[in-house]
Amino acid sequence: MPTVKAVDMAKEAGIDPKRFRQALRDERFSWHAHNERWIVKAGSDEHKAMQSVLHKISS
């Protein structure tokens, strides 16, 4: 299954990647360890959670 990076999601949406990663950190997802890269499997629950955060900050 392909992977998705937060930086690529942000760039596609026209959002600053640093802003997106901060918003993701603010969510404190239990599945993401501190200082790990924001890379998830496409279509996974984690990907959907990241899409939700991206939608929140782009609205």
Beta carbons within 8 Å of 20's beta carbon, 6+ residues apart? 6, 7, 9, 10, 13, 53, 54, 57
User: What are the residues facing 40 on neighbouring strands?
Assistant: 4
| pLDDT, average across residues 3-9 | 98
**Percentage of the chain with pLDDT > 70?**
100
pLDDT band for position 59 (cuts 50, 70, 90): confident
For 39-54, the pLDDT digits (tens) are 999 999 999 999 999 9
